[in-house]
Amino acid sequence: MESFYQDVLRRIKKASEIIKLPEQIEEVILNPQRIIQLSLTLKRDNGNIETYKAYRVQHNDAPGPFKGGIRFHADTDLDEVSALATLMSLKNSVVNLPYGGAKGGIGVDPRSLSEAELERLSREYVNAIHNVIGPRKDIPAPDVNTNGQIMAWMADQYSLLNNNYLPGVFTGKPMNFGGSFGRDIATSFGGIVVLEEFLKKEKKLIKKQNSEITIAIQGAGNAGANAARILSKKGYKIIAISDSKGGILNKNGLKIEAILDEYQEEKRKDSSVTITESGGEFQKITNKELLELTVDILIPAALENQINNENAKKIKTKIVLELANGPVTFDANEALFENKVTVLPGILANAGGVVGSYFEWVQNNSGDRWSKEDVLGKIETKMKEAFADLDLVKTKLKTDYHTAAFASSILKLQEAMKTRGRI
């Protein structure tokens, strides 16, 4: 299987060909502006010294400051971070945010660290990159295995290094440190806005009431769990959900609120807990089995490359909503399109998170504080506008949503670079 980064580059090349993008401009978009590779040292609680690889890739800042998350994961490497930084540039463009794209990460399993070790490593990362980030340079946010507390440590370290209170350099922070109402559910909320806009447009695709529409969700982290809760409250039937260790299935519908309440409470006590240990009526399934269930809507909300050459032909759903970054590979997207499966692309579908981050950043810069209703209302408006724009591009280009999203974003990046005089 080709790498995640190669997969992203293939998407860019296909979209560039469709819109007849000049080769020189395509080369600019294919290559990040800056790649930072680091070795971070951490003194463990037992006195041992360990070294971790870390990265920050800044892809393109023609539209505005770099923006993108930081992930802590044992498999994080330069290829993955470069792919994600590139996707962030395109994602920010597709929802018309004044940002370029970036991404960062540390190759570490945070579950192997104590809270004190995790804080020291987080602050050490900021020590290493503080010269290239800032409220008007590069604004990181949470991603896989990072959260508001980690962002708070990082924002505090940046403020200490600059001898100034600068919470706007990080988003996704706790409410008592410059955070924004609604940011915690923004990714899931924005994705569901996109899903329901699509369902309204394509009424013939699923002729069912909400309570009859079956949904499977891969991933019970922030994006997956919040999506499950929101969809459940809207009356949809969640029949399966999983975490990294396995999943649960009840074809009559899971009691998702009770299951997630128990799972998340136990997870806070012991990070090794799995959702399959929750109480309730269900059968245990693997992540592979979850992806291949017969459902109306499949929501991959975990990691990249989950639907690929090996399982694309086994996918039995009408709609795939990408809440993860790059969960459907290039070749799998082509196969699903041929099989009349609609893939709502992550660079739009999971952009609610960065839209929420944008509004947090705006509030930090202005010193204002908006209500949750105001923030979610603004996210909803932004996501609806972006879907409508993308739908027009898809119709004009006579292609799938994925390719249309990449094409639309590339054209916007091209215009930003022209305006800046870079091309």
Q: Which residues does the annotation mark as catalytic?
A: 103
- Total Cβ atoms within 10 A of residue 20: 6
Residues 91 and 191: beta-carbon distance below 8 Å: no
Residues 348 and 405: beta-carbon distance below 8 Å: yes
Backbone φ, ψ for residue 336 (5° rounding): -65, -40
Q: Report which of 349, 322, 340, 335 is spatially closest to residue 217, judged by C-alpha positions.
A: 322
Q: 270 burial class (0-12, 13-18, 19+ CB within 10 angstroms)?
A: exposed
Angle 330-338/4-18 helices, nearest 10 degrees? 60
Q: Tokens for 61?
A: 């800042």
Buried b (16+ CB within 10 A) or exposed e, 166-197: bbbbbbbbeeebbbbbbbbbbbbbbbbbbbbb
What is the rounded CA–CA span in Å between residue 178 and residue 192?
A: 26
Q: Report which of 304, 299, 244 is spatially closest to residue 83, judged by C-alpha positions.
A: 304
